[in-house]
Amino acid sequence: MQLRNRNRHRSPQLMQVLRTGWIPLLLLIFITGCHRDMYDQPKYEPLEASTFFEDGRSARKPVDNTVAVDEVLYDEYFMTGMRDGAVGTEIPIPVTEETLARGQEVYNINCVPCHGLAGYGNGMVWRRGGVPPANFHSDRLRTTPVGHFYDVITNGYRYMYPYAHKIAPEDRWAIIAYIRALQLSQHATLDAVPADMQQELQSQPSEATPMPEGQDMSGATPMPEGQDTPEATPENQQGAEQ
């Protein structure tokens, strides 16, 4: 009862101060916790002078070959195989022994299941009843520009899905270089060998075991001359050629 009477005798002004007095105190605590260092940090502003470097500039010249975050280095032919709307005819990377080895490696991983080891289109997918893939040794594909192969690898063709998400651009060109090597290997003549090596090749006995007649290096029967894809059957007559 005495406590109630005591509160009853307090002035309204005092009660208001007691109710809101903690607010200024809290603001004072926050203000004292802030420093100018958070706003005025020890850093250089753009184009600000510096006494540390001899030229007096805080901004330094970028190192050679620096690429800006928003700068895109884009070679249209390298990335598309097209030039001025037409398929290109040259491989834009050096075709070295290392390039061919890399092309063979990536080809064996991604292309052999359909196109076969030698590129006759007789891979395991076709042998198990899949859609006939392209035969790289057909007259048409032997003379097709390399840009066509790059476009097909990148964007797909009929039943072949795109490989852009799996194969890097340089590896696509390496595959194409290897396909050209495969084509040459299956149609090369002695006249194509340098003259100083022809006699050496003729004098050396072949150490390789000859393949059975009518088979390629994969052990599967290659396509007849002039045929792009395996012979169509009722199940695969809608075959896709590259």
Please give the residue that has the higher pLDDT: either 43 or 206.
Answer: 43
CATH of the domain at 175: 1.10.760.10
> Which pLDDT score is estimated for 217?
46
47 in a structural domain: no
In contact, 201 and 191? CB cutoff 8 Å: no
51 in a structural domain: no
135 in a structural domain: yes
Lowest-confidence segment of 116-130, 147-161, 202-216 by average pLDDT: 202-216
Of 81, 217, 223, residue with least CA distance to 139: 223
91 in a structural domain: yes
**151 — pLDDT class (breaks 50, 70, 90):** very high
169 in a structural domain: yes
- Domain hosting residue 134, numbered range: 76-191
How many distinct structural domains can be found in the chain? 1
> Which pLDDT score is estimated for 6?
53
**142 — pLDDT class (breaks 50, 70, 90):** very high
5 in a structural domain: no
113 in a structural domain: yes
Q: Round to whole Å and give the CA distance between 111 and 182.
A: 13
> Which pLDDT score is estimated for 221?
52
Q: Alpha helix (H) ranges present in the chain? A: 2-9, 12-20, 22-33, 76-80, 97-110, 112-115, 124-127, 139-142, 146-155, 169-187, 195-203
198 in a structural domain: no
The residues, any chain, with a CB within 8 Å of residue 28's CB and separated by 6 or more, are none
Of 87, 240, 238, residue with least CA distance to 176: 87
pLDDT per residue as tens digits for the range 96-124: 999 999 999 999 999 999 999 999 998 99
In contact, 240 and 131? CB cutoff 8 Å: yes
In contact, 107 and 179? CB cutoff 8 Å: yes
